[in-house]
């Protein structure tokens, strides 16, 4: 077997840890105490308001129990609210509160800065090829290959 760092999977995993650690550090430097996992929830809800817990769990690759626990914390901090579906009260929709939208606005600028720093000096063609390749690898493992034009 080759050395682990000769596989892209090693670098994908390593980069994920570095991004999460740096993101939390950058958020804290701007006075925000929020985890990378909480940021992922805010990001998903900002982009797709009204998701259910199940849909959010699927999008963030978390089990429903973990997602519910994280949502409970964000609800307690008045950043997320649960709203029953008017047509099916068993179905609950998740939305950012006004405070959640304001926080998301602050955090998204910090996250954009991290993304900008992370790709500094990388050619646009290389980024596009990397994105296509990572989407393909993800599709191979989730049995949901990317559609033409998705990346």
Grouping H, G, I as helix, E, B as strand and the rest as coil, residue 30 is coil
Q: What is the distance between the alpha carbons of residues 93 and 81, in angstroms, rounded to a whole number?
A: 8
Q: What is the CATH number of domain 4-142?
A: 1.10.10.10
Q: How far apart are CA 12 and CA 131, in angstroms?
A: 12
- The domain ranges of the chain are 4-142
pLDDT digits over 66-121, tens only? 999 999 999 999 999 999 988 888 899 999 999 999 999 999 999 999 999 999 99
- Condensed to tens digits (0 to 9), the pLDDT of residues 13-63 reads 999 999 999 999 999 999 999 999 999 999 999 999 999 999 999 999 899
Question: What local confidence, expressed as pLDDT, does residue 61 receive?
Answer: 87
Read off the DSSP letter of residue 5: G
Number of Cβ within a 10 Å radius of residue 42: 20
Query: What is the reported pTM?
Result: 0.84
């Amino acid at each position: 077997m080759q050395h682990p760092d000769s596989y892209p999977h090693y670098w994908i995993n390593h980069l994920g840890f570095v991004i999460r650690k740096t993101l939390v550090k950058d958020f804290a430097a701007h006075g925000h105490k929020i985890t990378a996992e909480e940021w992922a929830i805010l990001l998903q809800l900002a982009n797709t308001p009204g998701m259910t817990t199940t849909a959010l769990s699927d999008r963030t690759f978390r089990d429903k129990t973990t997602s519910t626990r994280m949502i409970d914390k964000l609800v307690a901090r008045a950043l997320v609210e649960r709203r029953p579906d008017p047509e099916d009260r068993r179905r609950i929709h998740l939305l950012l509160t006004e405070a959640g939208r304001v926080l998301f606005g602050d955090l998204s600028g910090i996250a954009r800065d991290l993304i900008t720093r992370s790709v500094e000096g990388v050619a646009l063609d290389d980024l596009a090829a990397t994105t296509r390749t990572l989407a393909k690898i993800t599709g191979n493992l989730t049995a949901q290959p990317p559609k033409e034009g998705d990346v």
